[in-house]
């Protein structure tokens, strides 16, 4: 794996223009997310610089723009709040340590090449989780949008204090917040091509506050310290180490999901393919460095990535350029942001929260699947009112159980017991003739498709319904995978047949299926001469050995059309 991202200067103009444009887009978002998280606006700027630079340098998606995002900010807000309450002196340092742990977690996922498994999650769970995060972000912006201090207690604290917030609105701040939303929502599309609406709202809102409300008591950002960041030494207490590890894993996993989903969007726009494992390593390095510098965690940002590609960027040089521009702002121009009203930043963050909501699926989920809709809304509510990890865990568990149940039902319907030739079973003409003449002395179990644990009940049900026979032929030719539970049920069927004195023939066991049967000791009770690769050959041999049951001389059994089977079980 190449250590750094591929960077060349063949598209210099497009990459530089993309970097400048995305830096302009990122600035107001970084400030807004920094304030919303409770870590301060400078933390948002450091996060945009560190995550953006190192993810671009070491990542696996050349055009991806990485920065603090809405979902990551929501989780970071909860982490900052809980740690500062439990440990006022070192809580903020511990929160940045969690960001470093999240980065290490992402690096490990990339090193162990687990990137392809990150997004293997039902869409109903992803939709509910992201929409829940959007709801949280919107709720958390209500207080600053109305010109007031955010109450303690996060979402529940804000909702319980909503009557007081509405009764004590700061009119000037509310007007500025409304103006911000109006500019972002109503700005003509042709103007958006010239300047991002978030930046326009930031500038216009600040100017309006200074010109029309010079003496109003409007909460503002205040002075932001300029210069290089103070390195944050990892800080933790033994009693809270487990909690910090869990928070770090949750933050890292969310960053992985957020990033890889954005990388897929970048692939569709550029017709390229990202390297998911390398991308996770780059994101991990970026988040570790961000935590070390006192910055917010970040991930691949959809809006910034799309803007970057649309402005002509093709390599990671655009991400490096964007980070360099933001670094200049942090080092020398941060003082210019002191007059920005908090209500303006709240309006910008509130719009991001609304954009995170999966409106498309919310409006039609009940039309697609009521079960999927129930899972989506359940995950949404759990995300908002309970816990992010609980929401995802419960959602994935229920979605997987429902999926397995449905697959098991479908496969169970195709389990058949057959006493003579059946048109629903694909058999050779010769095999059909043999089946018609078997007279109940040879039993065939035919299984096809993956044998997941949900099918084991169908195997057991048909096995227990088997009538008397002399030969038991199990055909596994069309079984590509056999789970542990199904394997044990198949073993039970074979051992039961042997215990009852029946001859057992095994057909088509190969690859991993054969290896699993070997580990179960099946080949110790089934003689090697009873192992076949072709079903017809196995049946010929079975009938030869039991020719006395065919009511004809054994010499006639050399005619391959004289064999038959008594019953068959099909598990396609």
- Residue 417 reports pLDDT greater than 60: no
| 69 belongs to a structural domain | yes
Between β-strands 299-300 and 66-67, what pairing exists: parallel, antiparallel or unpaired? antiparallel
Provide mean pLDDT across the span 140-160: 89
- pLDDT at residue 373, as a whole number: 92
| 202 belongs to a structural domain | yes
3-state SS of 88-141?
CCCHHHHHHHHHHHHHHHHHHHHHCCCHHHHCCCCHHHHHHHHHHHHHHHHHHC
Instruction: Note whether 177 and 31 are same-domain residues.
Output: yes
Average the pLDDT over each of 149-163, 394-408, 426-440, 485-499 and give the range with the smallest value: 426-440
Provide mean pLDDT across the span 74-102: 92
| 27 belongs to a structural domain | yes
| 495 belongs to a structural domain | yes
| 373 belongs to a structural domain | no
- pLDDT at residue 366, as a whole number: 84
| 136 belongs to a structural domain | yes
Instruction: Note whether 78 and 181 are same-domain residues.
Output: yes
Residue with tokens 């095994």: 506
Instruction: Note whether 458 and 315 are same-domain residues.
Output: no
| Distance separating alpha carbons of residues 68 and 169, to the nearest angstrom | 29
Instruction: Note whether 245 and 324 are same-domain residues.
Output: yes
- 496-504 contacts, C-beta under 8 A, 24 or more apart: 496/463, 497/472, 498/525, 498/526, 502/443, 502/469, 502/470, 502/471, 502/472, 503/470, 503/471, 503/472, 503/530, 503/542, 503/545, 503/546, 504/471, 504/472, 504/473, 504/474, 504/530
User: What is the tens place of the pLDDT at every residue in 266-312?
Assistant: 988 888 888 999 999 999 999 999 999 999 999 999 889 988 998 88
- pLDDT at residue 3, as a whole number: 63
Domain end: 337, 359, 381, which one? 359
User: What is the tens place of the pLDDT at every residue in 13-35?
Assistant: 899 989 998 998 899 999 999 99
Instruction: Note whether 484 and 350 are same-domain residues.
Output: no
Instruction: Note whether 55 and 138 are same-domain residues.
Output: yes
| 349 belongs to a structural domain | yes
Number of domains making up the chain: 2
Domain end: 344, 359, 374, which one? 359
User: What is the tens place of the pLDDT at every residue in 439-456?
Assistant: 667 777 888 778 877 777
Average the pLDDT over each of 7-11, 174-178, 379-383, 563-567 and give the range with the smallest value: 563-567
- Residue 411 reports pLDDT greater than 70: no
Instruction: Note whether 330 and 435 are same-domain residues.
Output: no
Instruction: Note whether 179 and 50 are same-domain residues.
Output: yes
User: What is the tens place of the pLDDT at every residue in 236-250?
Assistant: 878 888 889 999 999
Mean pLDDT of the chain: 85
Instruction: Note whether 164 and 268 are same-domain residues.
Output: yes
- pLDDT at residue 440, as a whole number: 63
**Domain extent at residue 46:** 12-359
Q: Among the ranges 124-138, 178-192, 279-293, which has the highest mean pLDDT value? A: 279-293
| 64 belongs to a structural domain | yes
- Residue 368 reports pLDDT greater than 60: yes
Domain end: 330, 359, 388, which one? 359
- Residue 111 reports pLDDT greater than 50: yes
- Residue 549 reports pLDDT greater than 70: no
| CATH number of domain containing 517 | 3.30.750.24
Instruction: Note whether 321 and 424 are same-domain residues.
Output: no
Instruction: Note whether 42 and 166 are same-domain residues.
Output: yes
């Amino acid at each position: 794996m190449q250590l750094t991202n591929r960077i060349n200067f063949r598209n210099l103009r497009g990459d530089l223009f993309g970097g400048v444009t995305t830096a302009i887009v990122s600035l107001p978002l970084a400030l807004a997310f920094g304030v919303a998280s409770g870590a301060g606006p400078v933390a948002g700027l450091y996060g945009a610089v560190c995550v953006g630079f190192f993810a671009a340098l070491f990542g696996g998606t050349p055009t991806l723009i990485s920065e603090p995002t809405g979902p990551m900010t929501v989780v970071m807000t909860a982490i900052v709040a809980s740690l500062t309450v439990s440990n006022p002196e070192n809580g903020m340092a511990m929160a940045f340590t969690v960001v470093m742990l999240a980065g290490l977690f992402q690096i490990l996922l990339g090193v162990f090449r687990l990137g392809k498994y990150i997004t293997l999650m039902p869409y109903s769970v992803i939709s509910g989780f992201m929409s829940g995060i959007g709801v949280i972000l919107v709720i958390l912006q209500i207080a600053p949008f109305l010109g007031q201090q955010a109450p303690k207690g996060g979402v529940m604290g804000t909702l319980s204090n909503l009557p007081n917030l509405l009764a004590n609105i700061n009119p000037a701040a509310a007007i500025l917040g409304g103006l911000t939303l109006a500019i972002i929502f109503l700005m003509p599309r042709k103007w958006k091509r010239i300047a991002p609406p978030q930046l326009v709202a930031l500038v216009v809102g600040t100017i309006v506050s200074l010109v029309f409300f010079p003496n109003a008591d409007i909460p503002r950002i205040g002075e932001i310290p300029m210069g290089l960041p103070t390195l944050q030494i990892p800080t933790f207490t033994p009693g809270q180490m487990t909690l910090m590890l869990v928070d770090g894993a949750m933050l890292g996993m969310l960053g992985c999901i957020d990033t890889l989903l954005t990388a897929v969007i970048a692939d569709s726009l550029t017709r390229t393919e990202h390297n998911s494992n390398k991308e996770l390593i780059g994101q991990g390095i970026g988040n570790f460095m961000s935590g070390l510098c006192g910055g917010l965690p970040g991930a691949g940002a959809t809006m910034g990535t799309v803007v970057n590609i649309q402005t002509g960027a093709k390599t990671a040089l655009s991400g490096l350029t964007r980070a360099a521009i933001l670094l200049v702002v942090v080092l020398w121009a941060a003082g210019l942001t002191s007059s920005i009203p908090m209500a303006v930043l709240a309006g910008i963050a509130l719009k991001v929260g609304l954009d995170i909501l999966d409106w498309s699926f919310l409006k039609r989920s009940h039309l697609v699947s009521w079960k999927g809709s129930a899972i989506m809304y359940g995950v949404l509510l759990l995300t908002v009112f309970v816990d992010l990890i609980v929401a995802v865990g419960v959602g994935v568990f229920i979605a997987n159980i429902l999926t397995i149940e449905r697959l098991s039902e479908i496969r169970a319907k195709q389990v058949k017991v057959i006493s003579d030739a059946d048109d629903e079973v694909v058999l050779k003409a010769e095999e059909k003739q043999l089946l018609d003449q078997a007279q109940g002395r040879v039993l065939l179990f035919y299984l096809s498709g993956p044998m997941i644990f949900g099918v084991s009940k169908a195997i057991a049900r048909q096995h227990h319904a088997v009538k008397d026979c002399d030969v038991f032929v199990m055909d596994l030719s069309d079984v590509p995978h056999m789970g542990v539970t199904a394997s044990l049920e198949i073993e039970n069927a074979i051992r039961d047949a042997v215990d009852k004195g029946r001859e057992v023939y095994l057909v088509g066991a190969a690859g991993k299926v054969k290896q699993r049967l070997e580990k179960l000791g099946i080949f110790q009770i089934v003689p090697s001469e009873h192992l076949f690769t072709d079903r017809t050959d196995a049946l010929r041999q079975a009938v030869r050995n039991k020719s006395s049951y065919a009511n004809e001389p054994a010499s006639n059994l050399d005619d391959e059309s004289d064999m038959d089977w008594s019953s068959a079980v099909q598990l396609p």
